[in-house]
Each structure stands twice: as structure tokens, then as C-alpha cells.
Amino acid sequence: MDSPPAIAPKACDSPGNYQAIDTVVNSSPQNRSGGRQLGSHLAPEKRRDANTMRDIKACWSCAFQRDKCGEGDPCPRCAKRCNKANGPHPQLACDRTPLWELVEYFLPSIMTSIHTQQALKDFVYKHTTGWTDVRIRLRLIPGRGLPAMPCEAYEFVPKTIEPQRQFQYFKNSKTGMPLRSERPSPPLGMVQIENRDKDQYTKYIDDIIQNYFPAFAQMYCSDDGYDFNLRLLELLRNLKPEAKDEKDILHDVRRLIVVTYIMGHTLVLEEANRATVLPTLRHARPAIEYGTFCSPRVVNRQLKYLFCQLHTQYMSDVYKKLQQMLKKSKQWPPAKWVAAFAAMLGLAMVHEDTQKTVHLLADYKVAAEGWSFREAEKVAGRTCEAIDVKFSFVTALFMRRSSKGENPIVHRDSSWWSTKLDRNASVFAEGVKKLVSDNCKSHILFRFCFIQKLQNPKRKSVAETTTILHQVTC
Ligand SMILES: [Zn+2]
Ligand SMILES: [Zn+2]
């Protein structure tokens, strides 16, 4: 099924890159600051330089300025630049990091380590002692109104209490904070997970995007006291750019939003399915004790093992595509700016969602794995801060990349932009502008300095705004 097109990062990224950019932008030899004349060969010494640069990669500042980068930290040009003023944008530090290398911060190990194959095997081995041979068809949903994912499970004989209980988190209606709740979980698991299942779940995610997005947006925002995320999701869903790279990155961002949501929520049995399955089990409690949000913990973990792989894949895909857009040599036309900005907003949502899940995971570590509260809090704090720092770097790149042109959020009025943008992109830009002027409580927009000038909400930390309904750790 339509997996995202393969991307060869080397082709667009390595210092081949800075030379290629030089060649395109500055074709007259006397203007050239770095590259060489078309068709000429490099002298051996220069070739050696070029090879070294291919290994260490050009820094972002040099790539943006179309300058030739060099070795060192900072590189020679950044060392000179640091004394110069840089207009309204802060000077970028000399940094060569390709964006896909940031994925390890955006998908921190506190989240991914429980979803490795080994962790899953260990869990099943440690907590189950045998399997019955009656095949049971399950239908699980990650939220009300969302389509069911079908899967085949078997009942197992539990060895310990662990697979028969599960921590779920609900929003405390008084404090707005997450409330941990220990729930019984039926002893059901899949005996085999195959790779074709991954394709099935890719299709599942695309089905949500194409056919269930309004219901998804409702679930995504069900614990919000304001409609910022709901409106932003709607805008992201309706933006339909023409250019292939813009279309592709937005498709991947939508997938990433959906899979990040799934990774942070419990997969529960659909109501009708629950009513037929639970009474047939031999090693379970009476059906009535399981309640509405009944989730077989082992199946939940097994499915998340598959979704975790998709999570990593989509995150890398988005950052590879963003890297290509940022490093592309030509000035962005307004439509490309809109698509890139939309992708940035989607990423901000995703990272904020991840930060909420990280806090819940820390709580889970305290409740189930004997971590001390202090230790868990420290790890969660550090993990979330790292996400903030790395994403600030990405937003700084975006703003530097787009600093030369005007943008439809800040500059000129909509009538002027309507001649530069097609109707669909204008609607998106107007919608975001309206979010800004409505001063919606969210620091997703506030991450972009050109917006900070337009509004001045008291910025709240993620921890303060965290209110979670029915999210779960594993
Ligand atoms: Zn440089
Ligand atoms: Zn540099």
C-alpha cells in the first residue's frame, strides 16, 4: 500500500549539497564564494577537502548562505559570522546535525524501550504459562467513533497478576490533571505478529485520515478546555497543496499525528465485541468486572509494538522531507512556505503530545516499576526539555530559511495574498491567522518568533497544560 516514497538523504544533504547549491545559485565565476565551474574537475587537494566535508557535512548556516563550509567547530565561516548582526533573526550556532538524527530525542527511549521485540517477548514469557487453542476475534479501538482494528487472539493462562491488570489515565475533572486508575485486563494475546500486519496497520492509519478524521480530531481534543487543537487539526486536514513534495510531507505529518495519538492511548475492545468475547473466557474474571474501557494488556502491547515501528518510520520520513525542503536551493514560493509551516505546526502538536505521554510513563514507572518519584520526575523533565531544545533548533532553521520572503500570516493582508496563493492555501493561512488573533491558549504557535510579535499569551509549560483523558502507558 502507499508507503511514502523512499528518500536517499545523501542525495540532498551532504556537502555535495553545498557545492550543488553554489552551482545553481551563483553561476558567474567572479561571484562565487565556494563551488567550482560546471564541468571542471577538482584539484586533488580540493577533492580531499570535499571528501572530508562529505563526511562531516556542511553546517546549516553555510548551507543557507550558500557558502562553502569547512572543518572545525565552529566552522571558519561561522567563527567570522558570530561577530556580525543578523537582522531580526538570531544567529544560528554552527550546527551540522541532519534533522533525522533528532528523531532519537523526539521518540525518547522511555517511550520506545517497552516496545522492542525483546521487551515484548520477556513480558509474555515472564507473565504467562500456557495458551488455549480457541481462536478469538477481537476488535479494538483507540477512541470513540474510530474504526476497529481486527486481530486474532488466544486466551492465555496467566502466571502473575501483571498481564491481568493495566494502568489507565483519566482526566480528573476537578483538578484537570491525569488520574491513574488500575483496571482489570482479560488474559488475551496474539501468538504471532507478522510483518504483513504492519501494512494492515498502515492502512488503518490512512483509513482514519481519509474517512474518520473529524471523529479522530474530536477524540484528540476531548480533554482540551479550548478548541485550538481541534481547529488546527481541521486546517491541517483541509490543506491540499499541489506540489508533490508538499503533498508528501503533509501526508506523513498527518500519519505521524495519528500514530502518536495511538501510542499515547489505550486500545480498548469495541463494546459489542467485549460483550461477546468476555463471557467465553475461562481464566478471566466475571465479564461485568471489566468495565467500559476494557483492554487486553498483552494485545495492547503487541499492537503498540507494531505501531511503534510505524511511529519511528513516519517521524524519520517527515524529518527527511523537511530537511530536503529546508536545504533546497531556490527561494520558497508562498505556497511552499505555507506547506512547510503547516508541517512545522503538525510537528509541534506531535511533540507536545509526546511530552504528555512521557509524563504518564514516568508515573507508570513509579507505580509499576519501583522508580522513586524524584527519579521519575527528573527523567521526564529532562526528556521533555530535550524535545523542546531540539524542536527550537528546527524552528530556528525554519525561520532562518524563510526569513527572506514575506509570509501570509504576518505580512500584507489577505487580498494581496489571494493573488499569490491558491484558494486552498489562502484558507489555511487565514485560519491560522484567526487562531493567532483569537489568542488561543497554546504555545504551539508561540514557538514561531514572527507570531510572538503578534500575540502575547502568558506561555504555559506543557506540564501545566497537561490534561489527559484516557491515555495509557502500555
Ligand atoms: Zn559552515
Ligand atoms: Zn558553521
Find the 275 Cα to ligand 2 centroid distance in Å.
Answer: 62
Find the 321 Cα to ligand 1 centroid distance in Å.
Answer: 22
Cα(277)–Cα(148) distance, rounded to whole angstroms? Answer: 15
Q: Which of 272, 275, 300, 304 is nearest to 183 (CA)?
A: 300
Q: Is residue 22 in some structural domain?
A: yes
Find the 347 Cα to ligand 1 centroid distance in Å.
Answer: 27
Mark whether 44 and 191 lie in a shared domain: no
Mark whether 149 and 79 lie in a shared domain: no
Find the 440 Cα to ligand 1 centroid distance in Å.
Answer: 39
Mark whether 390 and 340 lie in a shared domain: yes
In the predicted structure, residue 189 carries a pLDDT above the cut 90: yes
Cα(216)–Cα(237) distance, rounded to whole angstroms? Answer: 11
Find the 447 Cα to ligand 1 centroid distance in Å.
Answer: 25
Mark whether 114 and 92 lie in a shared domain: no
Q: What is the DSSP letter of 225?
A: S
Q: Which of 336, 315, 312, 328 is nearest to 247 (CA)?
A: 336
Which bound ligand lies closest to the C-alpha atom of 73?
2
Select from 63, 96, 129 the last residue of a domain: 96
Q: How many domains does the chain have?
A: 2
Select from 45, 72, 96 the last residue of a domain: 96
Mark whether 453 and 327 lie in a shared domain: yes
In the predicted structure, residue 399 carries a pLDDT above the cut 80: yes
Partner residues linked to 442 by β-bridges: none
Find the 56 Cα to ligand 1 centroid distance in Å.
Answer: 10
Select from 49, 64, 96 the last residue of a domain: 96
Q: Pick from 80-89, 173-182, 439-448 the range whose average pLDDT is largest.
A: 173-182
pLDDT tens column, 12-41? 222 222 222 222 223 333 333 334 455 556
Mark whether 71 and 215 lie in a shared domain: no
Residue-averaged pLDDT of the chain: 82
Mark whether 170 and 36 lie in a shared domain: no
Q: Is residue 4 in some structural domain?
A: no
Which bound ligand lies closest to the C-alpha atom of 69?
1
Q: Strand 188-189 to strand 471-472: parallel, antiparallel, or no bridges (unpaired)?
A: unpaired
Least confident of 239-248, 283-292, 298-307, 452-461: 452-461
Mark whether 260 and 302 lie in a shared domain: yes
Find the 75 Cα to ligand 1 centroid distance in Å.
Answer: 5
Residue 168, SS3? strand
Cβ–Cβ under 8 Å, residues 168 and 293: yes
Cα atoms in the 13 Å half-sphere on the side-chain side of 63: 29
Higher pLDDT, 292 or 449: 292
Find the 279 Cα to ligand 2 centroid distance in Å.
Answer: 65
Q: Is residue 3 in some structural domain?
A: no
Strand stretches in 159-222, DSSP E: 165-171, 178-184, 188-189
Task: Print the domain residue range for 15.
Answer: 9-96
Q: What is the DSSP letter of 159?
A: S
Mark whether 306 and 418 lie in a shared domain: yes
Mark whether 50 and 147 lie in a shared domain: no
Higher pLDDT, 460 or 323: 323
Cβ–Cβ under 8 Å, residues 342 and 250: yes
Helices of type H across 57-108: 60-65, 76-81, 103-106
Cβ–Cβ under 8 Å, residues 68 and 62: yes
Find the 93 Cα to ligand 1 centroid distance in Å.
Answer: 10
Q: Is residue 105 in some structural domain?
A: no
Residues 6+ apart with CB under 8 A from 107: 311, 312, 315, 354
Find the 66 Cα to ligand 2 centroid distance in Å.
Answer: 12
pLDDT tens column, 291-339? 889 999 999 999 999 999 999 999 999 999 999 999 886 788 889 999 9
The pLDDT-based confidence of 372 (bands split at 50, 70, 90) is very high
Mark whether 198 and 315 lie in a shared domain: yes
